Amino acid sequence: MPAALILIADGTEETEFVATYDVLVRAGFSVKSVGVGLKNEFATCTRNIRIIPDEHDLGTFKYNSESPEYDVLILPGGGPGAATFCASEPVLEVISAFRVHKKWVAAICAGTTALVANVKKSDSGSEEKGTVTSHPSVEAEIKAEGWTYSQERCVVDDRFKLITSRGPGTVLLFALTIVEQLCGREKRKDVEGPMLMPASDSLDGTA
């Protein structure tokens, strides 16, 4: 059973968090949500929806940084939430742990900026900068740091084990792409069939 770690902060985009969590559970993933810098026991998301994460604080959350037991790290967007991720030492450390051990990191919307902040802090240079996408509002910021930028709705960079997407309107495609990369095309079809996903939301345009 694949395992996913998904982060949440005050100001996280709730659709991106909830839809990703939901689709992964449908696919049989073990999913753990962890808060980052929360002011309360819950995260207050961009539309003031409150979500209580499985674990309150990434700073005290125990995971094996030498060999992360999770198969994918997920960074939802939302401008304020993404800013919190970028400024959080524990977030940047967990991104590094996943990337060093060649685990998948998936970011959507402004969440992609946390990848940029991680590489910038580590000073690892262009060799760690893959092809990504994001919400258009942070496109210039990402390009300015030397990343290859795509306008595609969802981008998979196999070389760097990165999955990125654009915003709330692409979140189901994002989540299903995570399923496909970790579990295969057939498992994706098993999940998207009962969800009545249109063919246009398949990566290759087929149902």
Tens of pLDDT, residue by residue over 177-207, are 999 999 999 999 999 999 998 765 554 444 4
Residue 114 lies in a domain: yes
- The radius of gyration computed from the CA coordinates of the chain, to the nearest angstrom, equals 16
Long-range own/partner contacts, residues 125-129 (CB < 8 A, 24 or more apart): 128/99, 128/160
Among 45, 135, 183, 192, the one annotated catalytic: 135
Token digits of residue 30: 């073990």
Tell whether the model's pLDDT for residue 49 goes beyond 70. Answer: yes
Residue 66 pLDDT: 74
Residue 39 to residues 17, 55, 56, 80: CA-CA distances in angstroms? 18, 14, 10, 13
Residue 207 lies in a domain: no
Q: Is 86 a catalytic residue?
A: no
Tell whether the model's pLDDT for residue 28 goes beyond 60. Answer: yes
Residue 202 pLDDT: 58
Residue 88 lies in a domain: yes
Which amino acid, residue 62?
A: K
Residue 19 pLDDT: 99
Residue 50 lies in a domain: yes
81 and 13 Cβ atoms separated by less than 8 Å: yes
Confidence of residue 125 (pLDDT cuts 50, 70, 90): low
Q: Is 101 a catalytic residue?
A: no
Residue 161 lies in a domain: yes
Residue 127 pLDDT: 63
Among 13, 16, 180, 192, the one annotated catalytic: 16
99 and 106 Cβ atoms separated by less than 8 Å: no
Residue 207 pLDDT: 44
Residue 206 lies in a domain: no
Tens of pLDDT, residue by residue over 135-166, are 999 999 999 999 999 999 999 999 999 999 99
Note the pTM of the prediction, 2 decimals. 0.94
Weakest mean pLDDT among 23-27, 32-36, 51-55, 60-64 = 60-64
Residue 145 lies in a domain: yes
Token digits of residue 148: 């290859």
Residue 97 pLDDT: 93
Q: Is 135 a catalytic residue?
A: yes
Residue 111 lies in a domain: yes
Among 86, 109, 154, 183, the one annotated catalytic: 109
Query: What is the CATH classification number for the domain harbouring 126?
Result: 3.40.50.880
Under 8 Å CB-to-CB from 46, ≥6 apart: which residues?
Answer: 11, 12, 13, 14, 78, 79, 80, 81
Tens of pLDDT, residue by residue over 51-101, are 999 999 999 998 877 777 999 999 999 999 999 999 999 999 999 999 999
Domain total in the chain: 1
Report the percentage of the chain scoring pLDDT > 70: 93
The parent domain of residue 26 ranges over: 3-201
Tell whether the model's pLDDT for residue 113 goes beyond 90. Answer: yes
